[in-house]
Amino acid sequence: MKAVETRIVAQDEGDQRLDRWFKRYYPTLGHVHLTKLLRTGQVRVDGRRVKASERLEAGQTIRIPPMDVPAASAAAVKARPGGKGDTETAEQLRRLILHTDRDVLAINKPAGLAVQGGSGITKHVDGALDGLMFDAKERPRLVHRLDKDTSGVLLVGRSYQAARRLTEAFRAKSAMKIYWALVVGEPKPNAGSIEGAIGKLPGRAGEKMAIDPENGKRAFTRYVTVERLGGKVTWVALFPVTGRTHQLRLHMAELGTPILGDGKYGGPDAFLQGEGVSRKLHLHARAIRIPDAKGRPIEVIAPLADHMARSFAFFGLDEAAAGDPFEDFED
């Protein structure tokens, strides 16, 4: 018999209607069926009875009763005979583990691997988490996301309680994420803050975001120039104070210095001609600092993805030059 499941609203899933959340994860669950589950109290948010129009907040819990309707993330997983989930991707991720303790698993996510399933996506981190249980009694849970083409540190909670604590840390801004990027051109000034509300473009633009002062969600990014390369390329460190979809990519493009390889937001200007540099996105989640269950800091650093390491070597960049880029930051 299936058991009641508790799902945590991820950091980037806040401020959306409950019925839309269900549509994402349970696309075959009809509205009438969902309404009945809500009316009878079988689906609850933080233990409360709610309506389908309830606006969710990151870190909230959703009670999901036993259902015959499969979850979308499970449906997208490529089944393996005699195993659980995507064992091939799980084996790849086991070789990329940066940190593990009783509560937290940190993975150096490769560029090109999606974190969650979606249209046409059969391989993703979420589909491989059964293979990363190790000695734990629960299946690991995602607590935040990285874009498919972004590499670097991805944290996973090894239990429901750990995932909830990590999600709360992201929501309370007690977690600090540092990204490295190579951008085309030179940001001016050399260091500063970018604030621009972000909303999703309507219509068939796909998952593309835009600056939307009227209806967008507040988005705030700090940046520091680490090294300039003759006006063509700049190595920057980025600190997203908020965590909106494509925030860093959009903010750097708005500054006039798109991230190298980001044709989605930078267009042709995001690529170098004849330089022998990879056309992949040059955005890397370099480090995460977050308190553990006892308040002690955990810091995880991810080595550069292969294509970024080659670009760093091509431009003669020394990784040690970054130091602590935000130590002396001034707004």
Q: Which residues contact 28 (CB under 8 A, 6 or more apart)?
A: 69, 70
Hey, how many other C-beta atoms are within 10 angstroms of the C-beta on 148?
17
Hey, how many other C-beta atoms are within 10 angstroms of the C-beta on 149?
19
Strand partners, 235: 182, 227
Q: What is the DSSP string of 151-172?
A: EEEEEEESSHHHHHHHHHHHHT
Structure tokens at 117: 């399933």
Give the three-class secondary structure for 74. helix
Give the three-class secondary structure for 105. strand
Cα–Cα distance, 115 to 126 (Å, whole number): 6
Q: In degrees to the nearest 10, what's the CA dihedral of 70, 205, 266, 283? A: -10
Q: What pairing do the DSSP bridges indicate for beta strands 233-240 and 104-109?
A: unpaired
Cα–Cα distance, 100 to 298 (Å, whole number): 11
Are 273 and 280 contacting, i.e. CB atoms less than 8 angstroms apart?
no
Cα–Cα distance, 76 to 86 (Å, whole number): 10
Q: Which residues contact 278 (CB under 8 A, 6 or more apart)?
A: 261, 307, 308, 310, 311
Helices 18-25 and 31-39: angle between axes, nearest 10 degrees: 120
Kindly list the catalytic residues: 147
